[in-house]
Structure 1
Amino acid sequence: MINYKIVSKRIAIIISALIGLMAAVFIGLYFFNKNPKILQKSERTITIWQPRNVEEDMANSFIMPDVKYGYELLTQTQKYLGPQAENPKMRLSGNNLKCTSCHLDAGNRPGSGSWAGVTQRYPSFRGRSNAMGTIQDRINGCMERSMNGQKIDIDSREMRAMVAYMDWLSEGIPEDEVKKVSGYTKLDPPNTAVDLNKGQQIFTKHCIECHQEDGQGLKHEDFKDGYVYPPLWGDDTFNDGAGMHRVLTAAQFIKANMPYLLASREKPVLTDEEAYHVAGYINSFKRPEKANKEKDYPDLKLKPVSTPYGPWEDNFTAEQHKYGPFPPIIAYYKEKFDLKKSK
């Protein structure tokens, strides 16, 4: 027997639902007519990463204390960690260079070992130690070689601050951008040895205005501020275990950055050959000696071809490892070990 009460209730529910649906449609149409864009798909906003304006941000923005201290350490290294540090225990750097003598524009310049994104690349394998290394290891490598000094305690406030600054520079950088700004620049070495006479001529034409004829740079009037332009050889510069003492590494840096404020990674001033010869000239002079550098690169196959000190995994002369020509050495490692080398 049909229960008419139940049927009529169900019909009432269906009618109510239909009325509600129609009301929703009419309301939707009303608002759509008032604002047709309401149902249109919004366009995606693409934000292009831009390097920080470090000086402006430091002056006008709130900066975490660790980041600011890291900035000061890296841009005034001689004052906080060098021979001029007030606390003798903090005199860990052996020269009056600053980290930003090479890592230009406060470590933010592509083609000069930019720190933007650098902390994302570590831990990574390091051929010099034949082991995985941290960003702290990398910093200490610079301290012992480029700064001709001692390691910083990895748990110290100073180390934390340096890494914090590098992290701050790296905020928001996409992975593909890290590859663009890191390292130096590509250089094709000529199939000839460095010509020191050509190197001297190029140095005289392009370099002495800043670094002076004797290569000893230009000091600030108050030497507490270190150098305006750093010395390139002599007692107060990087030692012979530093990467910059390799002709090919130095040439890559020079090509992208020198003359300062005139050259860039995108628009170099010097040709590959000019950068090559002047790099050889700069590295023909005496500089501090790094102790125990013969222990570098336990796997000798991984040693850069322009490393000027032995031992090596080949029979090329020490002279050729220092001054080239390098293409035959590069070809040897490719043929024998299937290793592609660029420096």
Structure 2
Amino acid sequence: MILEKNFLIQNQPITIDNGSFQWSAPSNIALVKYWGKKENQIPANPSISFTLNNCKTITKLAFVKRNNDSGFSFDLLFEGKPKEDFKPKIQKFFERIEVYCPFLKEFHFTIDTQNTFPHSSGIASSASGMAALAMNIMSLEKALNPSITEEYFYQKASFLARLGSGSACRSVKGSVVAWGNHVEIAGSSDLFGVEFPSTIHQDFKNYQDTILLVDKGEKQVSSTVGHDLMHNHPYANRRFEQAHENLSKIKTVLENGNLDEFIKIVESEALTLHAMMMTSMPYFILMKPNTLEIINKIWKFRNENNIPVCFTLDAGANVHVLYPENVKEKVLQFIKDELVGYCQNGQYICDEIGLGSQLIMDN
């Protein structure tokens, strides 16, 4: 069993004066949701997600050795321009991970980040952003200590990403990633995400996710606040049990390709997530009227055409439309004919299952 102390390192001589790395890391969409967390970004229940391919953050980390280590030193650019309002989140992230990466204070960093999806699209970029930054930090650690193994590299990257944004740990490696201790997922951990340990059925290869941008505004309630409301939630314990049960079920489904069962689990999980929000105190609703219209249209289309298309939601109003690649043409036509009108400015993003973070540059 891997413990937090496994990721602690000793201060070591700084043998590099300057350099840069660049990584991309994708967003992900949870099939079994985590909602509620304990101290230090530990999930209250396990989750599992599809890693996306096109919606990603690309981050370049340039570093220069400095003569003093009084605090963290970094500049933050978003799409090439200074972004001061992002800096407190990065500062907090560095403070959280300093004990595991003591070399951070030895350098001045220039962090230049951009998203492949519109910044104000309503798609959460914290998962992809923190995962991309964690990958760069691990590249620096490996440059300082070339002996670290690939397994350690990716586990610690996921571990660090989690400390920035919980779901970011599922954006590091693998097309299907589980996070949180679960008796049926080999190697699963609350500390980092793990690649799905079994062979995924052919029907889930190249699975499609078309994201309907219903509301591109900032959420009324942050995910952090929402997670905290689970502490005294009247249905919390049963929900946590349900997540364990659904992860067991979806593990079997991902292995055997039962799309009907997949649809039931995924849609139930999405609605349960929002039910938790609506029954917390204070309560809140993040779905919009157009979210419900889209859900009803999907149900009608699926029943009338016997096409295995379903929806899931994150903690917002946007709808992820999930379907196998072999029905892509029909589903996209349905989206254009019947669903685009419910999207803000008619906008949607076509994505599919991906492979995780990718090294772009090592200089």
TM score, norm. by length of structure 2: 0.29
More helix by share: 1
TM score, norm. by length of structure 1: 0.31
